[in-house]
Each structure stands twice: as structure tokens, then as C-alpha cells.
């Protein structure tokens, strides 16, 4: 089992350094939910299907992420508070390559 360290800044501005497992097929949105870094019902509303943008985050580190899918791109085109570095947390898998990832949760929309 390999855990990676990532930093997540919640919607109140507090930064949390957390350990994320890489052997459970989790994504960033699920890590945020497991650590309860966003109120219940405000993140991952669609269950991680790239259909709601409730898990939008801003990538602060230069971590190389998987290429954005057409579904993710389309969802972000309709979302609020989108920035150049916006991604959907449900589309960022927790793999060893994500070590050192730093993100900030976008405001609730």
C-alpha cells in the first residue's frame, strides 16, 4: 500500500495535508469526502460522473494531471467560478504520480 501526501485548501481557506491511498481506486473528490473537508451534500453530488462540477478545484501545484476528458471540459464550460487551473476532483485519480498535489476547493455554486 502506498499513500501519497497531498494538500487540500478547503472553502474556508484552511489547508489540510492529508494522506491519500493509491491502492483503492479513489479520486480527489472521494478523498475530500473521506476527510470531511466539505459539508455533506456539497461535493460529489453526481457521484463522480463529471456531471455537476460540485467537486471543482483549482490546481495550485505543477503536478502533471491526466488529460482532461471531453465530459470534464464540457462540465467546466458550464460551471461557476471557473479559472485557468480548474479541474473536477472526480476526474483526478489518486496514483503515486499525484504525490505533492496541491489544490484549493472552488466556492460552492
C-alpha 101/C-alpha 85 separation (Å) is 13
CB 32 within 8 A of CB 64: no
Spatial CB neighbours of 90, under 8 Å, sequence gap ≥ 6: 27, 28, 29, 30, 44, 46, 48, 49, 50, 55
- Point out the residues of the chain with pLDDT beneath 50: none
pLDDT at residue 67, as a whole number: 96
pTM of the model as a whole: 0.95
pLDDT at 66: 96
- pLDDT tens for each residue of 1-24: 799 999 999 999 999 999 999 999
pLDDT of residue 109: 82
Amino acid at each position: 500500500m502506498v499513500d501519497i501526501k497531498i494538500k487540500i485548501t478547503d472553502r474556508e481557506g484552511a489547508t489540510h495535508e492529508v494522506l491519500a491511498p493509491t491502492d483503492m481506486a479513489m479520486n480527489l473528490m472521494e478523498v475530500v469526502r473521506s476527510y470531511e473537508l466539505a459539508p455533506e451534500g456539497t461535493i460529489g453530488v453526481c457521484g463522480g460522473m463529471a456531471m455537476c462540477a460540485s467537486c471543482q478545484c483549482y490546481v495550485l501545484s505543477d503536478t502533471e494531471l491526466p488529460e482532461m476528458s471531453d465530459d470534464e471540459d464540457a462540465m467546466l464550460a458550464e460551471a461557476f467560478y471557473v479559472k485557468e487551473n480548474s479541474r473536477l476532483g472526480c476526474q483526478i485519480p489518486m496514483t503515486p504520480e499525484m504525490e505533492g498535489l496541491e489544490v484549493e476547493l472552488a466556492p460552492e455554486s
